[in-house]
Amino acid sequence: MKSTGIKKLLFVLLIFSAVLGNAQQERYTAIEAKLKELSATNPGLNEKVELSVNGVAIQEFIRALAATNNLNMSVDAGLDTKIVNNFSNVNVSDVLLFLVKKYDLDISFIGNIMSVSQYFQPVVLQKPVIKTLKIKYDKPTNVLDLDLTNDSLSAVAKEITRLSQKNVVFASDLSGKMVNGYIQGTSFNSAMDKFAFANDLKITPTNDNFYLIEKIEQPLGNPKNNKSSGSLQNNNLPQTINLTTNGNNLITIDVTNAPIAEILTSASSKLNISYFLFTEPKGNTSVNVTNVSYDDFLNYLFNGTEYTFQKSGGIYLIGERNMEGLRATKVIQLQYRTVEKMIDFIPVELKKGIEVKPFPDQNSLIVSGSQPRIEELEKFLRDVDRVVPVVSIEVIIVDINSSHKVSTGLKAGLGTSPKATGGDVFPGLNLSLGANSINSVIDGINGFGVVNLGHVTPNFYVTLRLLETNGDLDITSTPLLATLNGNEAKMSIGQTIYYQENTINVIANNATTTTTNIVYKPLSAEFAMTINPIVSGDEQITLSISVKKSSFTGQSSGPGSPYNSTSRDFQSLIRVKNQEMIMLGGLDENSKDETSSGVPVLSRIPVIKWFFSSRDKNKAKSKLTIFIKPTVIY
């Protein structure tokens, strides 16, 4: 018997070698025929050569052969075999064919170009043999037969599901497991139970016709109750867990520092709850709750851990929060707040383990993560997403300016030319008397014959002033501002004027050159007010008010020069009731300016001083008052 097997093997090898040798010969024949065909247009292939090489790389040898015989050849750079040959009076085509056979090369032809490379035996892909699983199921009797030898659990589960129409699902970490077993004429449930026992697995049947397969693990704290299969019907609770239930499927449990997996198994067994573990919960915890539902119990159990659950078809799927199947995505739309600001207000702890992205187009947040954390975040958002009150601020600005000016005095002098008499007599006296008018008055006095005063020169003049000017200016404006609670409302009214700035540059070269640059620079004066309202729960409004006013007082030194300016500002923080008006004052300005010129000593003597001096008195008063009335609008 052994001799016959060896003969068969040798016969197969002989047949294979013959087929392989025949294929190689056909390849050589095809290359030879192509070389012969190409030699008709490339005479270099028929040239006789005398060659003797020792230790030369084959690619260098072929390149030299092509160069000396005007052949178009490309050689694979990976050919690094060293050759030792001696050719005498042979055709180039014969040399190439020899190299192909000797060093297992291949020549491909593209027009007149020959490409030389290493020959590789074509890989024949064998069609994989699909093993037929020996599984039978009789539906009328619900009997399952298994004859498995090193078969894939994945294939076995699919075949059993196909035959029995009962869904068999296995955990992801069992995808590569191989199983064995021989069971004949056994009911489906019993056969599945024994199949699990034979392969160190645990099968859990569910109420919706599913069979869940998972690895067997030693129960924590109770090694005596290690079973290979079943539906979590472990009613022997560990001594550390005090667990009771009532008729409404509510749980009362009191446990201290017990493994989470053990607590989960005990509670699920007590309520006959089916669950599927993607990953087994690790760690210990303490639980003391009374009359809570199973869902609330799981929320309390997994709170603060990396585990979560999701109910699907009556089965509780339990695993890590970031696992596929336990993640959830939700769009949370805000009603009153904007997403750009809201995302910055979310506490860091609430964003752990979830991803939050703003969606401004719909004023929404896209949240992805575990369902319990999403619900916690959504509750926070609903608490803070409330109506933001609008504060309408009515402002009345009253700016009162008053001035009083008195100019008195007598002024005499000599001009460069005679002056004519003229001026105002009423309502204010501002009269200039020329030499002719003064001489007429003198002549009138001389007519009495007592005193002869003579005459003044033609350029002599006298100016007499007795003026009083009063001014009153009342400016009232009523802007209406509105802003959201906690946001600033601003207003600004201003004026910009320009003054001239000249820059003279002197450039000394062959000739001195002077350039003048004129730049007009701005100066601004404005009335600006900023109000920031904050509404409290009892509709009391805290107002942070800032007011600034600046104005021009005139140019410092004539036309074109910069303007002088004054500014007044104040800040206030007050609290008022809704629709209550307040008044802000204190921006008052009083100025008094008195100038005089005259003859020394005489200008200070009462009564006489009015004839020997000139006086100007200016008084100005400015008062700014602001009335503010805030109104809360929802």
Asked if 194 and 203 count as a contact pair (C-beta separation under 8 A), the reply is no
Q: How many CB atoms lie within 10 A of CB 131?
A: 11
Q: Is the pLDDT of residue 390 over 70?
A: yes
CA dihedral in degrees (252, 256, 260, 261; nearest 10)? -80
Cα–Cα distances in angstroms (integers) from residue 100 to residues 52, 75, 91, 111, 115, in the given order? 18, 13, 15, 20, 12
The DSSP annotation for 571-614 comes to EEEEEE-TT--EEEEEEEEEEEEEEEEE-TTGGGSTTGGGTSEE
Number of residues written out for the chain: 634
Q: Is the pLDDT of residue 195 over 60?
A: yes
pLDDT at residue number 246: 66
Cα–Cα distances in angstroms (integers) from residue 557 to residues 8, 366, 560, 567, 620, in the given order? 126, 66, 8, 20, 21
What does pLDDT average to over the chain? 78
pLDDT of 246-262, one tens digit each? 667 788 888 888 888 88
pLDDT at residue number 236: 41
Q: Is the pLDDT of residue 399 over 70?
A: yes
Burial (Cβ within 10 Å: 0-12, 13-18, ≥19) of residue 166: middle
Which residue do the tokens 């007010």 mark?
529
pLDDT at residue number 453: 65
Q: Is the pLDDT of residue 235 over 50?
A: no
Q: Is the pLDDT of residue 47 over 80?
A: yes
Instruction: Name the strand (E) or helix (H) holding 486.
Output: none
Q: Is the pLDDT of residue 393 over 80?
A: yes
CA-to-CA distance for 568 and 585, rounded, in angstroms? Answer: 12
Q: Which two tokens stand for residue 564?
A: 């002088």
Which residue do the tokens 């601004």 mark?
524
Grouping H, G, I as helix, E, B as strand and the rest as coil, residue 282 is coil
CA-to-CA distance for 377 and 399, rounded, in angstroms? Answer: 53
Q: How much of the chain exceeds pLDDT 90, in percent?
A: 1
Sign of CA dihedral 604, 605, 607, 609: negative
pLDDT at residue number 532: 92
The DSSP annotation for 336-353 comes to SS-HHHHHHHS-HHHHTT
Q: Report how many helices (DSSP H) and strands (DSSP E) the chain contains, helices first.
A: 11, 31
Question: Minimum mean pLDDT among 3-17, 220-234, 239-253, 567-581: which range?
Answer: 220-234
Residue 230's pLDDT band, with cuts at 50, 70 and 90, is very low
CA-to-CA distance for 625 and 286, rounded, in angstroms? Answer: 68
> Which amino acid makes up residue 307?
Y
Cα–Cα distances in angstroms (integers) from residue 173 to residues 233, 311, 475, in the given order? 24, 21, 84
pLDDT at residue number 447: 62
Which residue do the tokens 């994945």 mark?
154
Listed residue (573, 531, 532) closest to 548, CA to CA: 531
Residue 39's pLDDT band, with cuts at 50, 70 and 90, is confident
CA-to-CA distance for 594 and 219, rounded, in angstroms? Answer: 105
Establish how many alpha carbons lie within 13 A of residue 5's alpha carbon, considering only the half-sphere containing its beta carbon.
2
pLDDT at residue number 7: 52
Residue 222's pLDDT band, with cuts at 50, 70 and 90, is very low
Q: How far apart are the first and last CA of the chain?
A: 102
CA-to-CA distance for 114 and 65, rounded, in angstroms? Answer: 13
Residue 127's pLDDT band, with cuts at 50, 70 and 90, is low
Q: Is the pLDDT of residue 220 over 50?
A: no
CA-to-CA distance for 364 and 404, rounded, in angstroms? Answer: 65
Give me the mean pLDDT over the 52-67 stretch. Answer: 81
Q: Domains in the chain and their CATH numbers?
A: 11-118 (3.55.50.30), 134-215 (3.55.50.30), 242-320 (3.55.50.30), 325-386 (3.30.1370.120), 410-465 (no CATH)
Q: How many CB atoms lie within 10 A of CB 373?
A: 19
Angle at 42 between CA 41 and CA 45, to 5 degrees: 135
> Which amino acid makes up residue 77?
A
Residue 583's pLDDT band, with cuts at 50, 70 and 90, is confident
Q: Is the pLDDT of residue 575 over 80?
A: yes
pLDDT at residue number 587: 63
pLDDT at residue number 449: 58
pLDDT at residue number 478: 81
Residue 16's pLDDT band, with cuts at 50, 70 and 90, is very low
Q: Is the pLDDT of residue 530 over 60?
A: yes
pLDDT at residue number 238: 45
Long-range contacts of 498-504 (CB under 8 A, 24+ apart): 498/522, 498/523, 499/523, 499/555, 499/560, 499/561, 499/562, 499/563, 500/560
CA-to-CA distance for 292 and 275, rounded, in angstroms? Answer: 18
CA-to-CA distance for 588 and 626, rounded, in angstroms? Answer: 12
